[in-house]
Homo-oligomer: A and B are copies of this chain.
Amino acid sequence: MKIVFLGSGNVATHLACTVQEAGHKVLQIFNHRLNGAVELAGKLNCAFTDKINEITDQADVYIISVKDDAIGIIAQQLNLKDKVVVHTAGSVDMNVLLPATPNVGVLYPLQTFSKDRALDFQSVPLFIEGANDITSETIKRLAQSIAHFVTVSNSEQRRILHLSAVFACNFVNHLYDLSNGLLKEHNLSFDALKPLILETAQKVQQLHPHNAQTGPARRNDQQVMTKHLQLLSNNQPLQFIYQLLSDSIVKSFQ
């Protein structure tokens, strides 16, 4: 398939490189900041533009991968009649694309992307949706050409997937960051936690997360929890997070 990308952020970068490696042809990168478009187009050896009216009409699929609130704004400026237009966002309804074409859809990769980190895209679960059969079929073919796990899901299911990913990824990473701050404050190295962090994630690949739970709150060990809260007495926000999450664990085992 011939593809145009609108956006050049983390998701666009990983996805564009992956589709090109899978044998599709990326014709052009559009980005409202030109240097973003230039950078990604350089990786793909394709055309680029920062002007929406210069977007080529020669592609089969247009993939919009920009900030959530910009998706609808861009779609309103597109006129792509019989083309397929998809976005890649977890929490945006498919229908915001309808000003551009009736052939709208979604290709949502449930993963965390950073530009400076390689990733095996084949193992990224893709959740897809299409407004009509032909569009769905096109998106499905594209998705299956780049990843193993492709699931059809509607916009409501996708919102829940995205929300649960915020808990399991974004909030989790922030907890890593908070631990790092604690260790740093006491001249201890974050390296000490790395095997633990990895094992915690690996455990729930097999065990149910409820059965994998360990720690003072799991044992309702009030003595340790009180000591920990005392250790955090100079850091009220952290104390508050400790209390809230410990209470939540204790409750989940009552």
Contact = CB atoms under 8 A, between A and B. Distances in A.
Contacts of A202: 198, 201
Contacts of A219: 67
Interface residues of A, number: 94
A56 to B, nearest CB: 29
B169 A172 contact: no
Contact of A167 (B10, B175, B237): B175
Interface in A105-136: 110-114, 116-117, 119, 123-125, 127
Nearest to A159: B231
A163 B114 CA distance: 28
B197 A204 contact: yes
Interface stretch (A27-35, A39-47, A188-196): A188-196
B170 A125 contact: no
Interface string A151-187: 1010011011111111111111111111110110010
